[in-house]
Structures are given as C-alpha cells and as structure tokens.
C-alpha cells in the first residue's frame, strides 16, 4: 500500500487531465523559482550599487567629474543613471544659453523622472508573473482535484462493492493536484511580497535622491559650471 500510494505512483495512475494539470503546475513552479532567484540577485545588486554611488556622491566629488565617471560605466546602477540623465539635461540646457534657474531645474527634473520610471519598470519586471502564479495556481490545482474526484467516482460506479481501499487511491490522486498547486503558489506569494517591499524601498531612495540632487542643481544654476558644493 505504501508503494501504491506514493506521490509518483499516484501521479502515474492519475487521469490524463490531472496529469496535464500537474505538469502545468510543475512548469509554473519551476518558472517562478527561476524568476525568484534572478530577481533576488538583481535587486540585491541594485541595492548594493545604489548605496555605493550614494557614498561616492556625498563624498564631495565635483559633479562634472562624477558625471564623466558615471557616463563611462556600462553597468551603472539605477541611481547613477538617474543622476546622469539629470546632469546631462542640465548641461545641455546650459549649452543652449538657458539661464533661468526654473527652466534649468524643470528640465533636469523631467529627465530624472523619466529615468526613474524606466528604472522602476525594470525593477518590477516579471513581478506580475509571480503574482499570477500565486493567485491562479491553487485554482488550477483545485480544478485538477475536482476533475480527478469526478473521474474516480465514475470509475467506482461500475463496482458493486465500494470500500475505503477502493476509494482512497482515486481521491488521493486527485488531491495531489491541490497539493502541487499550493506548492507552486506559496513561494510565489512570499517572494512577490518581499520583492514588492524591497522595490518600494528602492523607489523611495531614488525619489529622495531626485529631490536632493534637484536642490543641488538649483543652488548651482547661477554658477558657470556645477561645482562640488553640496
């Protein structure tokens, strides 16, 4: 009985529909774990590189030198790209003889806001997939369970004597689908909530930097070139 009621045996003897449901759930689980690992390392890298750039930015380095350094980096952090976009627009407006502080600041802020939205979209990529897996996997598993129970009862209708031994395998086969649905959904939901909080914190960091850098640009708007003053 232990061998007959093992998970592998139950799946092997389940109906074709239940097997297809289980296969789909396993593929969804595998894909979600791939997204979880990739997103974990990507967000960790983003956070560490943002922190490193913040330390460099507030070290008092000249803004022109910092901009030149950031522009040459192929793997710049989101905070660096936002800084570069704002600084680039600020310098372009200065080259066009724009002297009004409000115009200089508005242009730089619009550029940084556009860059901020791009970075936020990049950080949130594939996050909706985890939400979808977490929300629909239990229902897909429940569909497999219901179908399996229906199939089991149809088979039992041909028997003259029904005992627990004859009912148990069919019901167990059906319940495996629900178990695998939960197995796919729970990690996806937990990972989604964790990543959503982490992205929210990163977004707050980026928005705070935009405001702080805007204040610096405003103070330097009337000077010949952005200086190292903070």
For the segment 36-53, the average pLDDT, to the nearest whole number, is 93
73: alpha, beta or left? (left if phi > 0; alpha if psi -120 to 50): beta
> Looking at residues 44-58, what average pLDDT do you find?
91
Mean local confidence (pLDDT), 182-194: 95
pLDDT number for residue 228:
43
Mean pLDDT of the chain: 84
pLDDT (average), residues 214-221: 83
Residue 51 has pLDDT above 70, yes or no: yes
Helix (H, G, I), strand (E, B) or coil at 171: helix
H-helix segments, the chain? 7-13, 16-57, 63-71, 78-95, 101-123, 127-156, 164-220
Instruction: Note the pLDDT of residue 80.
Output: 93
Token digits of residue 39: 């997103």
Q: What is the mean pLDDT of residues 72-82?
A: 86
pLDDT digits (tens, 9 = 90+) for 192-207: 999 999 999 999 999 9
Give CA–CA dist 115/111, Å, rounded: 6
Provide the token pair at 117.
Answer: 């939205």
Alpha carbon 182 to its chain centroid, in Å, reads 20
Could you give the CA distance from residue 123 to residue 206 in angstroms, rounded to a whole number? 12
Q: What was the pLDDT predicted at 224?
A: 55
Distance of CA 55 to the CA centre of its chain: 26
SS3 229: coil
72-81, 168-177, 213-222: which range is least confident on average?
168-177
Using 50, 70 and 90 to split pLDDT, how confident is the model at 95? confident
Annotated domain spans of the chain: 7-220
pLDDT in tens, 134-177: 999 999 999 888 888 887 777 666 666 655 556 666 677 778 88
Percent of the chain with pLDDT over 90: 45
pLDDT class for 227, splitting at 50, 70, 90? very low
At residue 1 the predicted structure's pLDDT band, cuts being 50, 70 and 90, is very low
């Amino acid at each position: 009985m232990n061998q007959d009621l093992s998970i592998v045996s139950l799946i092997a003897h389940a109906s074709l529909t239940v097997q297809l449901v289980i296969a789909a759930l396993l593929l969804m689980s595998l894909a979600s774990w791939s997204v979880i690992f990739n997103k974990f390392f990507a967000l960790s890298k983003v956070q560490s590189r943002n922190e490193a750039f913040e330390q460099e930015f507030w070290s008092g380095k000249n803004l022109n030198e910092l901009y030149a350094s950031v522009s040459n980096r192929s793997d710049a952090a989101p905070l660096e790209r936002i800084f570069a976009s704002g600084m680039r627009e600020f310098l372009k407006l200065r080259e066009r003889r724009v002297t009004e502080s409000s115009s200089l600041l508005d242009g730089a802020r619009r550029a940084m806001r556009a860059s901020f939205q791009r970075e936020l979209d990049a950080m949130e990529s594939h996050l909706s997939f985890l939400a979808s897996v977490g929300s629909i996997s239990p229902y897909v598993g429940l569909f497999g369970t219901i179908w399996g129970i229906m199939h089991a009862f149809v088979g039992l209708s041909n028997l003259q004597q029904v005992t627990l031994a004859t009912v148990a395998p069919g019901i167990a086969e059906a319940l495996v689908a629900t178990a695998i649905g939960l197995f796919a959904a729970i990690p996806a939901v937990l990972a989604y909530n964790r990543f959503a909080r982490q992205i929210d914190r990163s977004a707050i960091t980026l928005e705070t930097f935009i405001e702080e850098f805007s204040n610096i640009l405003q103070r330097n708007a009337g000077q010949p070139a952005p200086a190292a003053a903070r």
